[in-house]
Amino acid sequence: MSEAFLQIENLKTHFPVERGMIIRRRIGTVKAVDGVTFSLARGEILGLVGESGCGKSTLGRTILQLIPPTEGTVVLAGKNLAGLNKHDLRESRADFQMIFQDPYASLNPRMTVFDALAEAMRAHRKIPAAEINERVAALMQKVGLSPRFVKKYPHEFSGGQRQRIAIARALAVEPKLIIADEPVSALDVSIQAQIINLLAKLSREMQLTLVFISHDLSVVKHISDRIAVMYLGRIVEIGPAAQVFEQPLHPYTKALVSAVPIPDPEREKQRQRVILTGDPPSPLDPPSGCSFHPRCSYAATECSRAVPALEIFDPARTVACIRAREINQA
């Protein structure tokens, strides 16, 4: 792999849990993101998967400094975003953008598409009035919308079109990194395909580095170069998308992959399912050691002692399980 373009080291986001009306007492800490380390090459697409409450959205927002990190560094193209002051951070925001899940909530209902895109373009550069029309038109075409619609308001568009507008707005500042938080989850199946194609094309053409957050493994597998699997605030496995999907190493990944329904009755019938028991534990009170051990069918006594570190399994893959080699030998 080429040198790291985005380098995240030991990133932590902890939220205090407080009680009381006037005098607020701290009664605990939710470790939403708890020591995440990974790096991405320029133009790479990383799929970030995990179940609700695992901290994947918080991780995305922490990388973008929409939530201040408790600890750790986020280095994008040589600059540590976590160490910037308010002013510098605002100046740097053009470099990294977010695409949100709900295209109905992510656009200001009182602004036309033109205003929204022009505002984004002008947020960081001076653009002469004569040029702005041309740039907006180019941007609309890039995301597959006709510039004829620029004077319309968000509510006049369908969900898929709105998501295209949201993508255009993110591209307006010419970012190097985009984090897409469940960008297709709110869309219908036939529309999902359009947005996935669009994101893949943009990332290819513009050398965009993309973190694609989703709970839908088949979507993530399709678009990503690598997949990172999160469980309770930590990454438990990272590796090339096809390998993680076809030969998962971590017991949690195994369960996750086997739970994904395949729209093929033949393959569905032949599949061996790993059915997990119980629900993910509360992040307020995580189990000791490996937080997956209470639900893990391979758990041994030492699993509850120490938090397993992400270790290199083979050159391309890392996994956080002390029994990884044992389990995956056969």
Residues within window 75-114 making contact with another protein, judged by CB under 8 A: 89-94, 96-98, 100-102, 105-114
Of the candidate residues 7, 14, 51, 328, the single one contacting another protein (CB under 8 A): 51
Of the residues 19, 27, 247, 268, which one makes contact with another protein according to CB under 8 A: 268
Residue entry with tokens 């939403």: 32
Whole-number minimum distance, CB 198 to another protein, in Å?
Answer: 10
124 binds another protein (CB under 8 A): yes
Tokens of 179: 């984090």
Q: Do 64 and 36 form a contact (C-beta atoms < 8 A)?
A: no
When asked if residue 194 is in the footprint of another protein (CB under 8 A), the reply is yes
DSSP state at residue 50: -
Q: Measured between alpha carbons, how far is 269 from 261 in angstroms, rounded to an integer? A: 11
Among residues 31 and 221, whose Cβ is nearest to another protein?
A: 221
Kindly tell me which residue out of 223, 227, 303, 324 binds another protein, with binding defined by CB under 8 A: 223
Q: Tell me phi and psi for residue 172, to 5 degrees.
A: -60, -30
- Give the interface segment with another protein, choosing from 4-12, 32-40, 131-139, 305-313 (CB under 8 A): 131-139
**d(Cα 302, Cα 26) in Å, to the nearest integer?**
31
Instruction: Give the containing element (helix H, strand E) for 121.
Output: helix 113-122
- Looking only at residues 20 through 49 of this chain, which bind another protein when binding is defined by CB under 8 A? 22
Least distance in angstroms from the C-beta of 297 to another protein: 13
Q: Which of residues 269-298 bind another protein (CB under 8 A)?
A: 269, 273, 275-277, 279-280
Using an 8 Å Cβ cutoff, are 249 and 228 in contact? no
Q: How far is the CB of 169 from another protein (least distance, A)?
A: 7
Kindly calculate the radius of gyration of the chain based on its CA atoms and give it in whole angstroms. 21
